[in-house]
Structures are given as C-alpha cells and as structure tokens.
Chains A and B, each alone.
Chain A
Amino acid sequence: MAEGSYVRIEGLKRYFDVSPPWLVRVLEGKPRQIVQAVDGIDIEIAKGETFSLVGESGCGKSTVARLVVGLYPPTAGRIEFDGNDIATRRGQGAHSALRRRLQMIFQDPFASLNPRWRVFDIIAEPIRAFGLSKDKADLEKQVGDLLRQVRLTPADGAKYPHEFSGGQRQRISIARALASRPEFLVCDEPTSALDVSVQAQILNLMMDLQRRLRLTYLFISHNLAVVYHISTRVGVMYLGRLVEEAPTDTLFRRPKHPYTRMLLDTIPDLDMTGRQRAPVAGEVPSPLNPPSGCSFHPRCPFANERCTVERPKALPIEGGSVACHAIEEGRLAIEDRSYAARG
C-alpha cells in the first residue's frame, strides 16, 4: 500500500456489550452477550480520494464512521490521520487541531440540526468552538460564504431548520461540516433519506466541493449505484468484516467475493435489459451470533469445509484485496461484467 497514506485504519475493532443486567444474568444463568460490530478492519485512504464503505444493515459501516470521528473509542486497533494516532486521544473537551480537520455529515436531515437553533448559529458553532474568526463581522462573512457555497443564501441564516426541506437541511449540514475548514469528511449515508432528484443535487454539490476544496471523503452507503458514481475506491463489509476492497471500476467490473457478486446482482435493472435480479437465499444473520469461520459461509454457494472453521485473511489482488478461501484456492473464477449504458 502507498507510503504516507492520508488515513490509515489498522485492525479496528469495536465490540458492544449488550448483556442482560448482572442480576438477571446471575439469577437466570444467562451468558454475557457481545456484539462484534466491527471486527478487524484495515483501510487506507489517499488524500483527495473518496473511499466508500458499502454493506447492508448490521454490517458495521456506520460504527466505523463513528469510530473514525471519535464518537466511540475503539476496542482495539489504530486509526491514523495524517500520521497522527487519533484512536487514543482523550474524549470530549479537547479542541485539538486534529478535530478541526476531520468532520462528519449525518444521515438524517431532520435529526442532525438542533431544531431550536437558528441556522446561523448552527453553522457558526464550529467556527466559534475552534476560534477561527476574529470578530463578529468576520464570523458573519464566513457563515455567509459557507451558505453561498452550498447554494443557499446568507439570509437563510436567520431561519430555523424546520423552515427548510430535507435537501436544504442536508446542505446546511454540509455547510456546518465545512465551517471548520476540514480536510477529511466522514459522510454517513448523507443522501439515503432524500428523494432521488434531491440526492442528485446533493451528490453533485459534494463532488464540486471536493474538487474545489480538495477534500477527502469516507462515504458510507448501502446504495451501490450512488457509490459507483462518486467513489475512487470501495470497501464491502459483511457482519463487521471487510470482505473485499478495490478501486471502483475493478470492484464493479470484476467482483471477486461471493457477497460482492450477490450485492451487485441486487442492483435493479433500470436499463431494462431484461436481466432478472437473482435473489439469493437467506438473510444476514444476527450479529449476536455470527457464523464461525467465514461469516458468509451459510449463504455462500462456494463454501467448503475450510470456510466453516477458518476466517479468511485479506489477500492482495488486482489493486485491492479480498478475504475469501475460494478465491485463494483458485476454486472461484473471476469474470468480467458489463453494464448496458442507458439509452
């Protein structure tokens, strides 16, 4: 992997203890229960690129986002940002220079803005917290510029969040995230709650901003078409583990891991080629009780004995990596896929 990667995540783990209360456990003899939400992730993100994490619910991608941003401390592993270890930094209260450079955009446009604050104050808060403005006039100018940057107007600062539509609120969220002049943005499903046409506006905006401000994105999503459109590299997660990771074109045209193939098969055929989605059997197992060995083996058409006992390691291949015994053993052929252009 490249030297001097901008963001490097090594062996990241986060376990949640969801055991019943101690008294219940003692009286009813119930065991401790641990959810291994994130179970050893290795990712490298280069400066200026967009790395997307995809997966279905329960795969741990949102937890990874929150770990990177510092909302939870990791159970194990390292998170390095521009050479600094941010996993072991102290919790809240430290307005460190690193926090300023790393911000987050959330999924729910209705819950991510404080309904009692004016938009101006919402956007000004990071500027005030990090001491980035000289005086009131400068603060107003900065907030006005940020609002214009997300295609709203400075006059919108006087309004409250409920006066805006979902798409506009997401723009305000973006303006707030940009207020501290960050270099790295973690985006947790920023368009999943939006209508399709609004999503297009927000995605275009985010790509424009990335070009203009030279931002790096960690983009979490479950929507593969969106991910295809904006990512440089993609990582696929399943039950807390990274099963495959590759540059976007490689992942979509030459998917390797059986789960990746299955996910790509579920993308609807809007190009009306008549391709039927091949429904795959089974559902994502409960994270409380993950399968042994390779966690995908109960649903995998290519699983063998080894898959049920041994967890596959990440194998570097074709510019990315994949964690699959079948690939490693050469049992599974890698084919090219093509997608029709919409006419």
Chain B
Amino acid sequence: MAGGTSFSRWLHRASDSDVWWSFRSSSLTIAAAVVTALILILSFLSPLLAPHTPFDPSTLSLSDGLKPPAWMPDGDWAFPLGTDDQGRDVLSAIMYGTRLSLVVGMASVFVSMLIGITLGLVSGYVGGVTDAVIMRIADVQLTFPAILVALLIDGVVRGLISVQRHDEIALFVIIGAIGLSFWVQYARTIRGSVMVEKNKEYVQAARVIGLSPVLIMVRHVLPNVTGPILVIATINLGLAVISEATLSFLGVGLPSTQPSLGTLIRLGNELLQSGEWWITLFPSITLAALVLAVNLLGDWLRDALNPKLR
C-alpha cells in the first residue's frame, strides 16, 4: 500500500464524493469559500502584500494623518482606504489586524476543541460518576455567556500579574480565555456520539482483544465521532473572532501595540464623532464579511455531512 497511490486514490474518492458535489452546486457556498480564502490569504501574507507597515512607528508620518479614502477629495491612492490620526494606513492595518484576529480565533478554537473533545470522550466512554461530574460542570458554565467567562478569566489574570508582563502574554491569555469559554459545545456533542458508538460491535471486538480503554477511545471511537466537530469548529471560529473583537473593543483584549480588528474598531470609534468614518467602517465590514462567510461555510458543511439529507 504505497503512500503515493493511496493519496491519489483518496483524492479521486474525494472529488467523486457527495460532499464535493454539494459544494459545487451551491453558489452561495462557493462565494463564501472564496471570500474566506481571500481574507485568509490577504491577512496571512500581510507582511508581503500590505502596502505599508502601520505598526512600525518609524514609517509613520503625522502629515499623512486623517486622509480620507482614495476616491474622495483629498484622498491619496497611496492610502486606498484612508489613514487614521497617527498616519497609519487603514488598509494595511486591516490586513495585519485580521491576521491577528484570525490567529486568536483559530488558536482558541483549537484550545476549545482540545478540552471539549477530551472531556467529551472521557465523559461518554467512562460514564457513571465521571460523566455526571463533567456534565454538571458543563451545565454550570453554560449558564454564563461566553463573553462573561472570557472577561472573568482575563480579569483574574490581569489582577495576578503586572502590567508589562501582561502585555507580553496578552495574546495567550486571550486565547486561553476564549478557548475555555467555548468547550462545552464540543464536549456535549462528542459525548452523545461516543455513547452511541461505544455499544457498537467493533468497539466490543476491540475489548475482546483486550485493548485498554484509552487505546479504544482514541483509536476506535474518536475517528468515528469527529464528524460534527468540523461543523462546530467552523461556526465557532466566527464566534471566537467576534469574542476577541468584543474584548478588544471593550479595552480588555489585545493591547494597542498589537491591534486586532476589534481594537481598530475601537480606535476608529473614538474618531467617529469628528466625521472620520472610514477608520471604523472598513474594519467593521471586514469583520462582518469574515464571520458571515465562515458561518455560511459552516452551514453548508453541516448539511453536506448530514447523512439524512443526502
């Protein structure tokens, strides 16, 4: 079973599959995928593609400050979407900011998945008191809105360490806070699937061979319960990005030296009253487009992977 041929066979099967076909036949989904891909590429390649480096003070000049978007009078095509009061190019700021938002979003989704899948697996497979305890903790956490939980965790950490230290590790704190506030959904879904799978005969066959529960959970049950995970993760990505933006908007997220989309929106908000609308509008549009596109993809994925709808 050579690796090369098995990959090409997988590719052949994937291109022939129902999932790919349902993707191709929905223009809305294709549009959403294109938008997401575009945003991903532009933001992650921002050091290469951005016209300016807005967060390097040495490249800034106050005389460039508060320029409106290029198509308006006083605009300058060197700064297509205008500049803020410090002379930072809004377009470049959006690209770098989106990158940061996405990094936080994806990392916190990853953290949520890790916690949620592990707890869900253990809870579903072991059952009994362990299951009851984990589910009660999940229930309690669900009574709090995710933002509140993230705020709480963030606030506690801030209280525990000094301000400079905090700025350095702010990124990790935010990722951890958001990650910890969203694990419940994964855990519950996985737990349900695990409880169904563990009674199936292939799991019993593995027990007859005498494998340890951990091995059975990871090698046999886990691959079969990950279906819904992708859907949850995609929708969760949108939520995580919004959460980070909210926290940054409230001023308790990333510091302004590493601005994300949320921070940009906050900065622009302060200038809104004096008529410089472009500084807050364009990051908001980007945020909305990103989250919408990701959610649409998640919706499609859920329907495509649902065996009953096929």
Decide if A11 is an interface residue (CB 8 Å cutoff).
no
Task: Fill in one digit per residue for A67-96: 1 if any B CB lies within 8 Å of its CB, else 0.
Answer: 001110000000000000000000011111
- If over half of B's interface residues share one DSSP class (helix, strand or loop), that class is named, otherwise mixed; here it is helix
User: Are A180 and B209 CB-contacts (below 8 A) given A71-B204, A111-B202, A115-B224?
Assistant: yes
Q: CB distance A107 to B207 under 8 Å? A: no
Q: CB distance A113 to B212 under 8 Å? A: no
Q: Which residue of B lies closest to A179 (CB)?
A: B209
Q: Which residue of B lies closest to A99 (CB)?
A: B210
Give the docked Cα–Cα distance between A113 and B98 (Å): 45
Give the docked Cα–Cα distance between A173 and B201 (Å): 11
Q: CB distance B201 to A93 under 8 Å? A: no
Q: CB distance B209 to A114 under 8 Å? A: no
The 8 Å CB contact of B202, one of A96, A113, A157, is A113
The 8 Å CB contact of A125, one of B1, B204, B209, B213, is B209
Decide if B208 is an interface residue (CB 8 Å cutoff).
yes
User: Are A116 and B223 CB-contacts (below 8 A) given A92-B210, A129-B211, A158-B1?
Assistant: yes
Decide if A120 is an interface residue (CB 8 Å cutoff).
yes
> Which residues does chain A contribute within 8 Å of B213, judged by CB atoms?
92-93
Of the candidates A116, A158, A173, the one having the most CB atoms from chain B within 10 angstroms of its own CB is: A116
User: Are A69 and B224 CB-contacts (below 8 A) given A92-B213, A113-B202?
Assistant: no
> Which residues does chain B contribute within 8 Å of A296, judged by CB atoms?
none
Q: CB distance B206 to A125 under 8 Å? A: yes
8 residue pairs, one from A and one from B, having the closest CB atoms: A112-B201, A116-B223, A106-B201, A114-B202, A111-B200, A93-B212, A111-B201, A99-B210
Would you list 24 pairs from A and B whose C-beta atoms are within 8 A, ordered by A residue? A92-B207, A92-B210, A96-B210, A99-B208, A99-B209, A99-B210, A104-B204, A104-B208, A106-B205, A107-B201, A108-B201, A111-B200, A112-B205, A114-B202, A114-B220, A114-B223, A114-B224, A116-B223, A129-B209, A130-B209, A157-B1, A158-B1, A176-B205, A180-B209
Interface, chain B (partner A; CB < 8 A) = 1, 6, 200-202, 204-213, 216, 220, 223-224
With A112-B201, A114-B202, A129-B210 already in contact, 13 other A-B pairs whose C-beta atoms are closer than 8 Å: A66-B204, A71-B208, A92-B212, A95-B210, A99-B208, A104-B205, A111-B201, A113-B202, A115-B224, A120-B1, A129-B211, A158-B6, A173-B205
